[in-house]
Structure 1
């Protein structure tokens, strides 16, 4: 049955005055009690004037923060450093039950012990939860005292040993910061905190008469924190030593620490300005880093995340920011910049003084490489050839066979440079209007190109074009850029051999095939030159058969374009064009 009981306060006995403190089962001074046994007793506790028990300065409620749509896997994932979806006050240390799925909550504020002595705390929840208590009203001094790893039934206080704290000494009249954090997945949800007083009486859950809501007065605003170094997406070589720098402030308060996290794992902290931490021997991987600042009242804030990437010992790759074959000028070569790495560029195997950055401007002909040293990684790039013409030169490169049927033609390509002017010549006479770098020849004759720059002239070797259509035979022409080698005439008796090149155009790998003259017993020389007349391939073959078939593989760093293939036997030569198209 129900009985109404009221603890009269104050009361005077002898020379002492007593004021009501609490009932053994909690609640206010006047309340209804459920009586189930004729011998059941209820105890009201009073404080005597001048005694060691002090009235609690609680205000009757405690703060509850709620984050909806939370899908984290652990209590530590609850986003307590962000603005909650809603905030309310509870009149008892117990949250609402069965209200939602997938949310996080935090109940926090201050608890006021009615008497000095040892207190024991419990927590019950569905799903997991943690109970934290400070040694004062300062949240930054809080420690975890109890937890639920999975779930309990509502107010089920004894399912797990970890639900119960050790005995904790508290002082009457002192305000202590207390906090319960809760993660809800799905199905049932609840959270409650209780305690046992020094006299053995239980208050489970803790009533509002012991509680007051959380305030941040005197502690300044919520901190502001940002990672200032390294930059987002910075790349390192394994094993890496990565130094993080952060700024943090709290208007009206002070920063007590800045912690650095990889995901949810703490990797280090700094308690004083400037806030920095060096993460040592970091292995290969991609990491998401945040900084967490805490002020003097325990308020916290998280920085925006940055990503750092730690790679293995990768081979550097050189990228040319422009053509690597030119008449004059320079080209910038660069490799991927790696944080903390050092560089050394070399040309033709010799270190270039002062070339110690991730990029280098090449202004001389040669094979360029870069060495990258990052931590324990020492890596060399493949060579990149830069060809820069020295002096005025004129060359002709045919764009097809120099012998063709009537009505055909061949395009002749001249070498070009800034400031060049051109004049094409046929049979010793200037061709009117033929002043471009290239010329289409449709008539038989001997062609030459004159190049002029700043009043200085240069003449190319002669190129002979013939019109002579012969059925069933590949039409090949001949040029002779070397004055020491005679040009092959087109009479059948004088042609030393017919040459085939396939595939053409090529990706850099092709085959040369031809029959040797019957009386040939000399070595064969294969040369390939670029538009500047520079030799980029040279090989000698020993004749062991009348039918010659040779595979050629060009340097993969060569730029695409037209190259001249020359096959020389003694003083005789056949040429054709090879088109490199990758």
Structure 2
């Protein structure tokens, strides 16, 4: 070591957002924790063929306690039956063409599980693989075998990245089948969740068909075993309706009857109104079946909205003071857009010509640049939003805090430590 610099501790978190420029592969969303809640990084992985061992998959994650969701499309060049394999330590789930082929969501050493799908040449089929690592070694592999393909990792030339699903706890998730957006509340009572849904401009989920039902179950399974939906018979016992619109879909209890033409999916022997107070519905995420519970029970709830949503963070920084003549940058980050995103920065509500990137750059700051800046974000025809405003203050110079005697003493101690370590190194 030629020199030792003691500079104190700098703590930071970097969120790698947006998609890499690779044209082939699957989009990997990397989360802290095993429940896909704290999104730390996104990137395009050419293949899912990882043996991380006791290392981490990304600088923003450690070797344990993380999860990944890979999404995209696989396009075979020959028609026929294909076998897809996951080989993972720990758990994995796999869907091909929206059919679950693997459901092995358990702690385990490296284990291979497979399922089959019949594919047509030239057709792009959606693929989604979910993975979690609890502890010990970490392995995640997606393989296939089929017409003209020996068993092995799926080559990147057959893969196209998707847009990802996002943070299942904090983001609005887009359902391409019906164009609606869904989000989870925190854990709370059904009544509190109903109020939260309305505050967000939505409603507790109304399940209209089997496809939507299983999409909800599959998408939010990582959160809990069951989730509140908008089903309830609060107004009249046994007359089950959707909270959004009051549409009646079931009448009676266990021996009740469905309303013709309206979807329902009760579990066996449900709804049973156990304890004479089970007046709201939940969806079991393992199967998509429904159960009734008291409105005072505490669960995550699925909120639905028919209007577009944009998941974004920023502007970053929200407030800044900068010396005249310096360079200033601020940025916004959009997660899981549906379309190509358009940006337009504004100062005091007025468009800034040419400022149409996610990052606003002012190369030679002058006093005229002081003011409030916001960004208008547009996700195609889905949604448009204007961020909160950041405050930029331009100053002649930054004030350096006065150095106190305790501060000088601390600096002296750091320099003494540096000298001692340097001397120890030379004495070896």
Give your verdict on TM over 0.5: no
The TM tier, using the shorter chain, reads 0.3 to 0.5
Q: RCO (CA 8 Å, sep 6+): is it higher in 1 or 2?
A: 2
With normalisation by structure 2, the TM-score equals 0.39
Higher share of residues assigned helix: 2
With normalisation by structure 1, the TM-score equals 0.29
